[in-house]
Amino acid sequence: MLRVGVMVSGGGTNLQAILDAMENGTVTNARVEVVISNNPGAYALERARNHGIEAVCLSPKTFDSREAFHEAFLKKVDEYDLDLIVLAGFLVTIPEAMIQKYRNKIINIHPSLIPSFCGVGYYGLKVHEAALKRGVKLTGATVHFVDEGMDSGPIILQKAVEVLPGDTPEILQRRVMEEAEWKILPQAIHMIANKEL
Ligand code: GAR
**What confidence tens digit (pLDDT) does each residue in 64-122 have?**
999 999 999 999 999 999 999 999 999 999 999 999 999 999 999 999 999 999 999 99
> What pLDDT digit, counting tens, does each position of 145-168 carry?
999 999 999 999 999 999 999 999
For residue 197, what pLDDT is reported? 86
| φ, ψ of residue 168 in degrees (nearest 5) | -105, 165
- 3-class secondary-structure state, position 83: coil
CA 122–ligand 1 middle distance (angstroms) = 11
Residues of the chain above pLDDT 70, percent: 100
Q: Is the C-beta atom of 88 inside 6 A of ligand 1?
A: yes
Q: Is the C-beta atom of 12 inside 6 A of ligand 1?
A: yes
Close Cβ partners of 63 (under 8 Å, ≥ 6 residues apart): 69, 72
Q: Inform me whether the pLDDT recorded for 5 exceeds 90.
A: yes
Q: Which atom of ligand 1 is nearest to the CA of 91?
A: 13
Segment (H or E) for 169: helix 169-176
For residue 121, what pLDDT is reported? 96
User: Is 51 annotated as catalytic?
Assistant: no
> What pLDDT digit, counting tens, does each position of 121-148 carry?
999 999 999 999 999 999 999 999 999 9
Question: Is the overall model pTM greater than 0.95, yes or no?
Answer: yes
> How many residues in the chain?
197
For residue 151, what pLDDT is reported? 96
Q: Other CB atoms closer than 10 Å to residue 61's CB: what's the count? A: 8
Look at ligand 1, atom 7, and give the residue with the nearest C-alpha. 89
Q: Is the C-beta atom of 124 inside 6 A of ligand 1?
A: yes
CA 124–ligand 1 middle distance (angstroms) = 5
Q: Round to whole Å and give the CA distance between 101 and 178.
A: 33
Q: Round to whole Å and give the CA distance between 67 and 161.
A: 39
In which band, very low, low, confident or very high, does the pLDDT at 44 lie, cut at 50, 70 and 90?
A: very high
Burial 73-90 (b: 16+ CB within 10 A, else e): bbeebeebebbbbbbbbb
Burial 62-72 (b: 16+ CB within 10 A, else e): eeeeeeebbee
